[in-house]
Amino acid sequence: MKALRSALEAIYVRRLNRKLDGLPRPRHVAIMLDGNRRWARGAGHQDVREGYRVGGAKVTDFLRWCTDADIKHVTLWMLSDDNLHRPAAELGPLLDIIEETVQRICAPGEPWEIEIIGALDLLPGNTARVLKEAAALTNGRGGLKVDVAVGYGGRREIVDAVKAAFDKHISDGGDPRDLAAEFDLEHISDNLYSPAGHDTDFIIRTSGEQRLSGFLLWQSAYAEVHFVDVLWPAFRQIDLLRALRSYADRDRRYGR
């Protein structure tokens, strides 16, 4: 039965790919990896960390599907800054899984260029070091650009962007009053965590929740949003292709 299901799914994937041929597709896809704990409970696991482990393993598949779909840039939200307030007994194992996941997608032979974004100074020192060292191995690889958001919050990113703009201006010998007088949108856009992440075309949230929770708050101004009921560990290539089909059917108005 499992083999039959896999064969039918492969046929459907090919059909969806044919239907998407020549249609508009997003350059930058951002995804909220939501529903890991609910999946674990629904699958009968006593330890909800199993959901995070399965969800972490799913990331590699997702990046391969995005590569196949000719997506150029992906942002993965793995941990919010609010999540950092969870009890140590829950947060510690979750950070371990995130470290393992990042090391896996940064491993030699993988074609992706990884950048860690977020308030890394809020992470435990060892976690921040592990993530930065893993991502550094991918510098210059080219291919799919992947931002991994850890300790990330959209409001915090905007505050940090404003601070960074003033820090640069002052370090260059400028008067902060001059910058305050001329401060504009570009001063924030140019100082976001990801220099390549100014424009997000398409945001996907798994698990059925229908809110952005501050994800890419600045970059999502004109993004199309797609909510899917599937919990992240159960997310399939079919679900991505259906989301891309939804994107292709939309008339992007950019606020008009």
Beta pairing partners, 76: 31, 148
| Token pair in block for residue 70 | 């000719």
Chain center to CA of 43? 25
| Token pair in block for residue 89 | 């007994």
| Token pair in block for residue 17 | 């790919």
Q: Read off the pLDDT of residues 136-188 as tens digits, 9 standing for 90 and up.
A: 999 999 899 999 999 999 999 999 999 999 999 999 999 999 999 999 999 99
Cβ neighbours for 130, distance < 8 A, ≥ 6 positions apart: 99, 102, 103
The pTM of the full predicted model, rounded to 2 decimals, is 0.94
Q: Read off the pLDDT of residues 48-65 as tens digits, 9 standing for 90 and up.
A: 899 999 999 999 999 999
- Please name the residue that has the structure tokens 């993988």: 110
Which phi and psi (to 5°) does residue 116 adopt?
-95, 125
User: What percent of the chain lies above the pLDDT cut of 70?
Assistant: 96
How does DSSP classify residue 122? Answer: G
Check residue 201 and give its pLDDT. Answer: 94
Active-site position among 17, 83, 96, 199: 83
Chain center to CA of 20? 23
Q: Give whole-number Cα distances, 236 to 20, 45, 54, 57, 228, in Å.
A: 17, 21, 13, 12, 11
| Token pair in block for residue 206 | 């798994």
- Using alpha carbons, select from 189, 185, 191, 190 the residue that is nearest to residue 161: 191
Instruction: Please state, in angstroms and rounded to a whole number, the distance separating the CA atoms of residues 147 and 28.
Output: 10
pLDDT, averaged across the chain: 94
Tell me the mean pLDDT in the region 94-116.
Answer: 97
pLDDT band at 113 (very low <50, low <70, confident <90, very high): very high
Check residue 64 and give its pLDDT. Answer: 98
Check residue 9 and give its pLDDT. Answer: 84
Q: Is the pLDDT of residue 5 over 90?
A: no
For residue 117, give the H/E element and its range: strand 113-117
Beta pairing partners, 113: 145
Active-site residue 126, yes or no? no
Check residue 255 and give its pLDDT. Answer: 62
Active-site position among 17, 21, 34, 36: 34
Q: Is the pLDDT of residue 252 over 90?
A: no
Tell me the mean pLDDT in the region 94-102.
Answer: 97
Instruction: Please state, in angstroms and rounded to a whole number, the distance separating the CA atoms of residues 210 and 52.
Output: 21
Tell me the mean pLDDT in the region 96-123.
Answer: 96
Q: How many CB atoms lie within 10 A of CB 155?
A: 11
